[in-house]
Amino acid sequence: MDTKRRETDVQAPAAVPATRPPEMSPFEAVNYFFDLAADHIDLDDEMREILRTTYRELRVQVPVRMDDGRLVVFTGYRVQHNGARGPYKGGVRYHPDADLDEVRALASLMTWKTAVVDIPYGGAKGGVQCEPGILSQKELERLTRRFTSTISYVLGVNRDIPAPDVNTNAQTMAWMMDAYSSRYGYTPAIVTGKPVELGGSYGRDAATGRGVVYSLREAARDLGVDLQGATVAIQGFGNVGSWTARLIGEIGCKVVSVSDVRGGIYRGDGLDVQALFDHVQESGTVVDFPGVDGITNEELLTLGVDVLIPAALSRVINEENAGTVRAGTIVEAANHPVTPAADVILAERGVNVIPDILANAGGVTVSYFEWVQNIQQFRWEEQQVNEQLAKTMARAWQEIYARATVDGVDLRLAAFAIAVEKVSRAARLRGYV
């Protein structure tokens, strides 16, 4: 990969560096965006040092007895980035790439995300390096219980509260809650994203996708993007991608392409998203849905659509393909889908990028509502959840847009600047520095 810095011949918008940054690891990339914000707000060196590094990193051995009798030892992580604004909060992902650097990056993003939507949490993330697709349900259950017990002493209702992320779901959270509760007593508020039957919140399953749709609706209004009949391509059809696809019609958009790990599909007249969802429940993939054209994941990213929504993994839009993206608006439903080098290229080309720390914050927002309901032992109606989510996303967007306009910076830098200010103020008030 070409890591040389190159001069660009296009006038960069204010506060966008005139040179392209090299490609970097996920944690380096999050700190790159942090550094831009820290420079922008003139943050002092002591606070920078605290916020560029993580508070606590736990690496654990997760031995699991397989169904065939073999013992396989997995590696798991829980990283707590910053807790100045409240208990650590963040998902748990099961994926072969879930190494320490990626988990650090995702933990740091959670710190900034919870600050952007102004919910009283810090940032954390967890991961187990594994290939969950080849594990049976029983193996996944044993892995989850073992991982939870092993990290349980850094968890707590007022200390650190996990949630689902890539390849984990409400069932995973049920096992986590049960494993924690068997040691410490019944504790529903120890995880969020639980099944409704076990104290989960109405609306949590859909919340991240719903938040993606709300953030696009708010942004489009201010940025002058017409969403009536706008075409949308979504990479990833898991929790976030499929809910985004199912809800985005409510704001006038038409989904023409989606994909999953096995490939993508395209239909210019629009996909019947509910039929596709039902199909995926049966077959496990989008690729064999009838009446559509097959495309690759790479082709999906460069389709001539109005809105592109990466909702799978990180770094999918990078220096190599950013110049070929044709969508006018990108909504970052996934965490860190756009690398710093790609971010500069997209800015040069005038593409609107709604940053992950706003766009996918609906999930953690409703996780917060779930935690509040568990502590209050009082369930909210789904309508109340969705209305509060809409208000939270709209308020966060307005703050970011106003800041971007006043400071003459892009949306990501505005979002990071707001977040870094909030976290550094809290850290100072608590006497961390």
Binder to ligand NAD among 237, 368, 369, 371 (CB under 6 A)?
237
Whether the CB-CB separation of 389 and 379 falls below 8 Å is answered with no
Of 31-39, 231-239, 288-296, 374-382, which part binds ligand NAD (CB under 6 A)?
Answer: 231-239
203: left (phi over 0), alpha (psi -120 to 50) or beta: left
The footprint of ligand NAD on residues 121-150 (CB under 6 A) is none
C-beta closer to ligand NAD: residue 152 or 335: 335
According to the binding rule CB under 6 A, does residue 352 interact with ligand NAD? no
Sorted by sequence, the CB contacts under 8 Å of residue 11 that are 6+ apart come out as: none
Residue 128: exposure state from Cβ atoms within 10 A (0-12, 13-18, ≥19): buried
According to the binding rule CB under 6 A, does residue 167 interact with ligand NAD? yes
- Residue 4 bears catalytic tag: no
Kindly report the backbone phi and psi dihedral angles of residue 159, in degrees, each rounded to the nearest multiple of 5, phi listed first. -125, -55
C-alpha to C-alpha distance for 391 and 384, rounded to whole angstroms: 11
C-beta closer to ligand NAD: residue 169 or 181: 169
The footprint of ligand NAD on residues 35-94 (CB under 6 A) is none
C-alpha to C-alpha distance for 234 and 337, rounded to whole angstroms: 12
Beta bridge partners of 73: 63
Sequence letter at residue 391: K
According to the binding rule CB under 6 A, does residue 424 interact with ligand NAD? no
- The helix/strand/coil state of 39 is helix
Least gap, CB of 257 to ligand NAD (angstroms): 12
Return the C-alpha torsion angle 332, 413, 350, 358, nearest 10: 30
Binder to ligand NAD among 23, 102, 218, 260 (CB under 6 A)?
260
Place of tokens 């505005």: 414
C-alpha to C-alpha distance for 137 and 72, rounded to whole angstroms: 15
C-beta closer to ligand NAD: residue 16 or 107: 107
According to the binding rule CB under 6 A, does residue 261 interact with ligand NAD? yes
Least gap, CB of 285 to ligand NAD (angstroms): 8
Sequence letter at residue 30: V
Whether the CB-CB separation of 335 and 356 falls below 8 Å is answered with yes
- Alpha helix segments (H runs only) across 18-99: 26-41, 45-52
User: Nearest CA to 403 among 389, 390, 425, 422?
Assistant: 422
Binding pattern to ligand NAD, positions 281-310, x when CB under 6 A?
Answer: ----------------x-------------
User: Nearest CA to 426 among 43, 84, 82, 49?
Assistant: 84
Of 18-26, 234-242, 266-274, 407-415, which part binds ligand NAD (CB under 6 A)?
Answer: 234-242
**Which one of the listed residues 4, 89, 113, 125 is annotated catalytic?**
125
C-beta closer to ligand NAD: residue 313 or 426: 313
C-beta closer to ligand NAD: residue 95 or 254: 95
C-beta closer to ligand NAD: residue 16 or 190: 190
Binding pattern to ligand NAD, positions 314-343, x when CB under 6 A?
Answer: -------------------xxx--------
- Alpha helix segments (H runs only) across 190-321: 204-223, 239-247, 273-283, 297-301
Kindly report the backbone phi and psi dihedral angles of residue 191, in degrees, each rounded to the nearest multiple of 5, phi listed first. -135, 160
Binder to ligand NAD among 114, 259, 302, 352 (CB under 6 A)?
259
Of 46-54, 115-123, 158-166, 400-408, which part binds ligand NAD (CB under 6 A)?
Answer: 158-166
Binder to ligand NAD among 208, 257, 365, 386 (CB under 6 A)?
208
CA angle, 132 then 212 then 91, to 5°: 35
Of 7-15, 232-240, 392-400, 416-424, which part binds ligand NAD (CB under 6 A)?
Answer: 232-240
- # binding residues, ligand NAD (CB under 6 A): 24
C-beta closer to ligand NAD: residue 13 or 238: 238
According to the binding rule CB under 6 A, does residue 311 interact with ligand NAD? yes
Whether the CB-CB separation of 287 and 266 falls below 8 Å is answered with no
Place of tokens 């959840």: 385
Binder to ligand NAD among 239, 257, 329, 352 (CB under 6 A)?
239
Binder to ligand NAD among 126, 203, 236, 340 (CB under 6 A)?
236
- The helix/strand/coil state of 286 is coil
What is the set of active-site residues? 125
Residues that bind ligand NAD (CB under 6 A): 164-167, 208, 235-241, 259-261, 297, 311-313, 333-335, 360, 363
